[in-house]
């Protein structure tokens, strides 16, 4: 749950992200594997944002928890239009 809170803090402070729809983290002997599904805002560059989310999230989780993140998969499940 602590990992989720860190991820949520990082992700929700990035413009273009609406919400996290699913998050999963698994510990393995060689490191931690994380998966996340996002709802993003229409009109933002998805690829660049996902890359930024992955980099910032892995950096923060490793710094604050001393866990070794082996894989972090981010999937954009849907887009929303903000008025």
- Whether pTM > 0.85 for this model: the answer is no
4-17 mean pLDDT: 90
pLDDT for the residue numbered 51: 94
Q: How confident is the model at residue 25 (pLDDT cuts 50, 70, 90)?
A: very high
Phi, psi torsion values for 28, nearest 5 degrees:
-130, 160
Contacts of 25 (CB under 8 A, 6+ apart): 3, 4, 32, 33, 34, 35
Contacts of 13 (CB under 8 A, 6+ apart): none
Q: Which tens digit of pLDDT belongs to each residue from 36-82?
A: 999 999 989 999 999 999 999 999 999 998 889 999 999 999 999 98
pLDDT for the residue numbered 1: 75
């Amino acid at each position: 749950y602590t990992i989720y809170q860190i991820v949520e803090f990082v992700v929700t402070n990035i413009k273009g992200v609406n919400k996290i729809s699913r998050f999963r983290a698994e510990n393995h002997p060689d490191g931690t594997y994380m998966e996340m599904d996002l709802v993003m805002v229409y009109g933002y560059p998805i690829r660049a944002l996902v890359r930024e989310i992955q980099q910032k999230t892995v950096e923060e989780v490793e710094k604050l928890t001393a866990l070794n993140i082996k894989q972090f998969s981010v999937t954009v499940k849907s887009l929303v239009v903000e008025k």
